[in-house]
Amino acid sequence: MHEYTPGTGIKDNAQFATWLGLIAFTFFFGTFVASNVYLRGWSPEVFNVDFAGKAGDLPFLNTLILLGSGVLALIAGQAFRKRANGAFTVTLALATLLALAYVVMGAQLLQEMMSLGKAVWTAYLPVYGLHWALGLLNFILLAVALAFAFSGKEHALKRLVPTGMSVWLYTAITGLAVFVITDVVSVSEFAEWCGTKLTGAFGK
């Protein structure tokens, strides 16, 4: 007699498909990041750009927003796992707002890059254009999850949150890595900028 073996379910299948997609995207995306590193090493006087001097606070704000959205998404995921619905909804809403801010400010950063000439178009625009598209997908998934949370669709959230968490954390981690690898923002510059802004905010 044939014994029935239940399948893994739509949630596990979706997680597997998401990770396969993210792995494929990593190889594709990594090609452009590697090209950026190569071009800056090959001709630094042409392809090295002082974005902190030319784009003002935008690179630092984008970095701070990515860091905040990743942390909030992680907290939201933990709250969902513990069935703390109130904490989950609040942190998810904050993460969604930060994701929207990243999309808006990321578009502004792309506009700044477009105004800096052909060298920046070649070395930086493909990298940051692709990550902006990933950030847009990240925002859409967060917004859908937030809509499900407000409407009480727990069954849909059980399917979406584990899958969405992969994208939310991946977006934050790769974004921060790209800012550092492409030398748009260095760790020391970011720490100094945060210190200056915090000192100025609390000093007033």
Q: What is the mean pLDDT of residues 93-116?
A: 92
For 106, the 3-state DSSP assignment is helix
pLDDT digits (tens, 9 = 90+) for 45-63: 888 887 766 777 888 888 8
Confidence check: pLDDT of 201 > 80:
no
Model confidence at 4, pLDDT cuts 50, 70, 90, reads very low
Q: In the structure encoding, which two tokens stand for residue 48, read together?
A: 């090295």
Burial grade of 80 (CB within 10 A; 0-12, 13-18, 19 or more): buried
For the stretch 128-141, pLDDT in tens is 999 999 999 999 99
Per-residue pLDDT at 11: 54
Q: Taking each helix axis from N to C terminus, what angle separates 58-81 and 154-181, rounded to the nearest 10 degrees?
A: 150
Asked whether the beta carbons of 174 and 134 are under 8 A apart, the reply is yes
| Domain ranges (residues) in the chain | 11-203
Please list the alpha-helical segments (H only) found in 43-84.
Answer: 44-47, 51-54, 58-81
Angle between helices 9-42 and 125-151 (to 10 degrees): 160
Pick from 12, 88, 1, 59: which is nearest to 190 by CA?
A: 59
pTM, 2 dp: 0.84
HSE, side-chain direction, 13 A CA sphere, residue 150: 10
Q: What is the mean pLDDT of the chain?
A: 85
Answer yes or no: are the C-beta atoms of 21 and 166 closer than 8 Å.
no
| pLDDT at residue 5 greater than cutoff 60 | no
CATH code of 11-203, in short, is 1.20.120.80
Mean pLDDT lowest for which of 33-37, 130-134, 178-182? 178-182
* Residue 7 CB partners (closer than 8 Å, separation 6+): 13
* Beta-carbon count within 10 A of 30 CB: 14
How far apart are the C-alpha atoms of 84 and 43, rounded to whole Å? 53
pLDDT band for 73, please (50, 70, 90 cuts).
Answer: very high
* Torsion sign, CA atoms 87, 92, 93, 99: positive
